[in-house]
Amino acid sequence: MSTHCHDEHQHSHGGHDGHDHVHDHSDDITPALQYSLYQHIDFDGINTMNEAVDDSGRAIVKKTWAERTQEQPELESDADEQIIMSVPFTGQVKLHSILLRSSPSASAPRTLKVFVNRRDLDFETASELAPTQEFELSQTSDVQELPVRRALFGKVQSLTLFFEDNFGNDDDDDEVTRLSYLGFKGEWMQLGRAPINITYEAAPNPSDHRIKGTNVNAMGSGIGGRGPGV
């Protein structure tokens, strides 16, 4: 079922545990094309750490909104359940929200930490640093829209997404994390220009350039508090 993705119908509630609980609505077929940043993603610059299949992280970002429910390609973690993905843009972005799709299974990511303009992170530093914003995700096959605190995401040139854990049991050490779609909404600015509102998507642009994901074991998995400025 398609997900209602208007910003005014998405809610992010701060809980006592310092997380944002995201609720998505799945009651109509309104496409999430308004403010899509699809054509302003630097696909060649995407780097995914601990991906089981090379370039699978980039592949799920290359999916258009129309392809969001396709099961393949899929991003799957390799050595453990953690994934780090760095997504650069072709200019400066005022980010509105992050869109993602996983599944109702134990392989669905549970905690997402997002960092602005930090392409130097590895698993150890991502676990230790306070994120710009942190989300608790849902076990669902619907597309989840994660509204960001716009005051903290007004000058984004790259995003680093740290999927810290999933819904697997603590005893299930070999549980992998899986995602099948990742997208972004916001306003793109060519540096020195006024923002441009994008209301359409470009078709995927295949590329021969490959960035090999690295198999890095997780180093620390403690969940931090809310991001700075809250």
Contacts (Cβ under 8 Å, ≥6 apart) of 206 = none
pLDDT, tens digit, for every residue of 45-76? 999 999 999 999 999 999 999 999 999 999 99
Residue 224 in any domain: the answer is: no
Full-model pTM: 0.70
Name the token pair of 209: 């350039």
Domain assignment of residue 6, yes or no: no
Evaluated on CA atoms 171, 121, 46, 34, the torsion sign reads positive
Q: Which domain does 165 fall in, by range? A: 38-188
Whether 22 is in a domain gets the answer: no
pLDDT, tens only, 111-141: 999 999 999 999 999 999 999 999 999 999 9
In a domain, 141, yes or no: yes
pLDDT in tens, 155-177: 999 999 999 999 997 665 558 99
Q: How confident is the model at residue 20 (pLDDT cuts 50, 70, 90)?
A: low
| Mean pLDDT calculated for residue range 7-12 | 37
Structural domains in the chain (count): 1
With respect to residue 122, please indicate whether it lies within any of the assigned structural domains: yes
Structure confidence at residue 194 (pLDDT): 56
Residue 28 located in a structural domain: no
Contact 51, 76 (CB under 8 A): yes
CA distance 97 to 167: 23
The answer to whether position 32 is within a domain reads: no
Q: Which residues of 94-131 are buried (b: 16+ CB within 10 A; e: fewer)?
A: bbbbbbbbbbeebbbbbbbbbbbebeebebeebbebeb
Question: Which CATH number goes with the domain that contains 173?
Answer: 2.60.120.470
CA quadruple 92, 97, 102, 107: dihedral sign: positive
Tokens of 165: 């854990």
